[in-house]
Structure 1
Amino acid sequence: MTDILGVDTGTKRPDRLAILLPLLESDPGNLALLADAAEAALDLREAGIAGDLLDRYAAISPLPSREANLAGLAALQMRQFDRAAEIFATLFAGGAKDNALRFNLAWAQANLKNFEQALEVLDDDSARELPQAAMLRVQLLHQLADFDGAGDAARDYILRHPDHRGLMAAVSVLALDIDDEALAEACAARAGEHPDALTTMGTLALGHERATEAVDLFDQALAANPDLPRAWVGLGLAKMLTGETASAAADIDRGANLFGDHLGSWIAAGWAHFVAGDTATSRARFDAAMALDPNFAETHGSLAVLDLLGGDIAEATRRSDIALRLDRKCYSAALAKSLIAASGGDHATAQRIFDHAARTPIGDSGRTIGQALAKMGLGIT
């Protein structure tokens, strides 16, 4: 039996570990044997066995730097990121500064969402030497919204590490956010079946109105990694374009919850529920965006449209004014203002105008207003 990494997880063990474990039974306090067996277990990705062996070592004598590093690797494999970060930080403070250690410490910190601390450790030299460090450094700069720094670094690193699929996938995601479609497409193509790359290709297909193709790409990405928020939101938006409005809203909700603080995904979720006919949940999603940031124009504009359609012309006017002060190009606020003007402030007339407009495709895309608003929420125009 093998795991997803192709490692044998059955009872048969590689010769090295099979030889060392019986030796330890007859000489359980042999520190060299304990360390070698722990290393052999890690090679097999048997992190639990490695950790137990190193605990036995530590009970006899403090772990030297080599054995402490093995303990940190075991903690990483077991996703015990607090323990891994503590071990690697101690080694780092003690003077161990090699790039592999920097990457391991940064990886542990990143998984703890300590992004700034991770970036402080993972310097440019590490990224230039190790492709996995280059991948993580791009992701950290992206996460911290240093788009210029991330873009400059990414363009350098992909030349240095042209065959690393993880790096290419990470750059493809970044490229979407810095509006470099050519870079996104090129890197995604070189990343193969990496789920982030599939998500990028799905997003590009969605942006060009190829909804069926986008659904297939997002499905493939989520089959490989079900915790990709971009893929869930993208899948929901693609489903909206194919008319699957009920499941679309649920998919976008899942993506918004995985993102947590991504305003656009909550706006997209709100419009998805609106298109599905659930105005109450739509408002709740817009309220969630408002709680995250009261200065996002599209949130005020989206609520203005709901207020208008609910009969509160005064509140719709107030909210749309706020939205346009925040962003004079706010699409939802402009929609609210145009409905107010066209209806002469009459709620029933505004509702009729909107109902007609909502059924009318925009331009040559075939999108309705609700679908367009949902896509704009994620920044896909």
Structure 2
Amino acid sequence: MSISAEALYKFWLNDKENQHIIQGLLQSYAQETSPHLALDFIEQLPAELCQQTWLICYKLQFQIQAGLSADVVKNVNEKLAAAADIDAMQLYLAMLAAHILRDSEQALAFYQHIQEPIAEAVLLAARIHYLKTDRQIAAQMLDQSEFMHLPAALGLRAMIALDDEAEALALSLANEALAKDPQQFDSLVVYACLANYQQRYGESAHFVNLALSKMPEQGRLLSLKGQYLLQQGDVQGALPVLQHATRNMPEHTGTVLLVGWCHLLMGDYAQAKVQFEQACEQDRSFADSHGSLAAALFYLGDLAGAKKAALVAKRLDPSSFSAAYAEALLLEQAGENELAASKIQQVYATQHYNGQGTNWDVIQRAISEGKKPNAS
């Protein structure tokens, strides 16, 4: 039975030199998620004790938990400038603080100072490269490390393989990770994504909900949940989930587009246009950003703009689903009903998969089931 932090603090008052009590108290503060109390306690300890590595690491951890990541980054940078001796764990915690602050360059700069890599630092550095879409660098870091056998490394490597469209490798790595740790988060995400790509939506939803129970703010999972709701025909339910996803991963163009399509299917064409324009700004080389914008412009009555955007999409990708859909709308508007019908049937019949996680099959189904908006 663990002893509460309050009880341990009373023991410490009577034996302030006992490091076992100090360590036990800090562990209790960590378990009770009381970082501010822990930091107040550390301030009461002798200066010479506070210079010990283990206590420095505790302080950095509690500062991060207390929302003081900027202080951690500043403190470690000052130590580096003064050529102070900093061990790998302190540098890892500084990396973590910088990562929380979304300063990937600073985090990787701290990593460069680590002379003897530790698993936590290597995995975080690889994840940062992965999030920066430097997938090849991330994969090489993991493949060449001595930590590839760890479930966390296998799971992250599976995510990289998935995004590289190496689905068989992704599944193999995820299986290996889950055999060692049945709750390994990245591997659950891989299972969810693969099930979604293969249109096994119920199975995907199971893994999404399981993973969300561990990390309810994870953007990719929220996007998958939104796609599942769209597949079920619940456009209004999908919209807030997908909006939540974009707040947590605003750089994910596929999810930004799905938010726009929700607005389009609900008849809010102006807001759909805003979303599609954002997608175009984020990735001008992604055909369906322009094709989707073409559809929104059509419904807003801007036929010239719709034609222009559709042409851009077709030039980027002749098989673009959204461009074909916009073209069908324009043909119908021009009275070319037979050509329009042929084009829209092509839209419904074509299966689409792009590496960004946008599930065009969901949109196709929504349109083909009569949920397409009516032109005003």
Residue aligning to 1:283: 273
Residue aligning to 2:372: none
Q: Deviations over 1:301-335 (max 9, x none)?
A: 11112223444332211112233444555432243
Q: Which stretch of the first structure deviates more once superposed, 318-327 or 362-371?
A: 362-371
Residue aligning to 1:75: 63
Distance in 2 between residues matched to 1:350 and 1:39, nearest whole Å: 78
Distance in 1 between residues matched to 2:79 and 2:339, nearest whole Å: 66
Task: Note the residue ranges of structure 1 that are not aligned, 5 or more in a row.
Answer: 2-7, 25-31, 375-381
Shift of 1:183: 3.2
Shift of 1:263: 1.7
Conserved? CA contact 2:73–2:97, under 8 Å: yes
Q: Deviations over 1:245-280 (max 9, x none)?
A: 321222222111211222221012212333455434
1:332 paired with 2:322, answer yes
Distance in 2 between residues matched to 1:182 and 1:347, nearest whole Å: 47
Q: Which stretch of the first structure deviates more once superposed, 187-196 or 262-271?
A: 187-196
Residue aligning to 1:370: 363
Normalization by structure 2: what TM-score? 0.78
Normalization by structure 1: what TM-score? 0.77
Distance in 2 between residues matched to 1:109 and 1:228, nearest whole Å: 19
The 3-state SS of whatever aligns with 2:264 is helix
Q: Deviations over 1:201-223 (max 9, x none)?
A: 11110000100111111111112
Note closer, same or farther for the CA distance 1:251–1:347 as it changes in structure 2 (3 Å cut). farther
Distance in 2 between residues matched to 1:108 and 1:287, nearest whole Å: 33
1:20 paired with 2:12, answer yes
Note closer, same or farther for the CA distance 1:268–1:373 as it changes in structure 2 (3 Å cut). farther
Conserved? CA contact 2:261–2:363, under 8 Å: yes
* Counterpart mapping for 1:247-262 below 5 A: 247-262=237-252
* Counterpart mapping for 1:348-367 below 5 A: 349=337, 353=341, 357=345, 360=348, 362=350
Residue aligning to 2:104: 115
Conserved? CA contact 1:37–1:50, under 8 Å: no
Q: Which stretch of the first structure deviates more once superposed, 210-219 or 65-74?
A: 65-74
Residue aligning to 1:263: 253
Q: Deviations over 1:69-88 (max 9, x none)?
A: 44223213434211222233
Residue aligning to 1:41: 25
1:139 paired with 2:127, answer yes
Note closer, same or farther for the CA distance 1:150–1:10 as it changes in structure 2 (3 Å cut). same
Taking only aligned residues, the RMSD between alpha carbons, in angstroms, comes to 3.8
Residue aligning to 1:379: none
Structure 2 letter corresponding to 1:213: E
Structure 2 letter corresponding to 1:208: Q
The 3-state SS of whatever aligns with 2:144 is helix
Shift of 1:229: 0.4
Distance in 2 between residues matched to 1:312 and 1:353, nearest whole Å: 22
Note closer, same or farther for the CA distance 1:36–1:359 as it changes in structure 2 (3 Å cut). same
Distance in 1 between residues matched to 2:90 and 2:236, nearest whole Å: 48
The 3-state SS of whatever aligns with 1:160 is coil
Conserved? CA contact 1:215–1:238, under 8 Å: yes
1:56 paired with 2:44, answer yes
Distance in 2 between residues matched to 1:347 and 1:61, nearest whole Å: 85
Residue aligning to 1:199: 189
Conserved? CA contact 1:110–1:118, under 8 Å: yes
Residue aligning to 2:304: 314
Shift of 1:129: 4.2
Q: Deviations over 1:93-132 (max 9, x none)?
A: 4332432222111111111111011112224976x84222
Q: Deviations over 1:22-50 (max 9, x none)?
A: 324xxxxxxx56x7755433333153333
The 3-state SS of whatever aligns with 2:40 is helix
Shift of 1:61: 7.8
Structure 1 letter corresponding to 2:278: A
Task: Note the residue ranges of structure 2 that are not aligned, 5 or more in a row.
Answer: 354-358, 368-376
Shift of 1:227: 0.5
Structure 1 letter corresponding to 2:156: A
Residue aligning to 2:174: 188
Structure 2 letter corresponding to 1:137: A
Conserved? CA contact 2:325–2:347, under 8 Å: no
Residue aligning to 1:238: 228
Conserved? CA contact 1:109–1:118, under 8 Å: yes
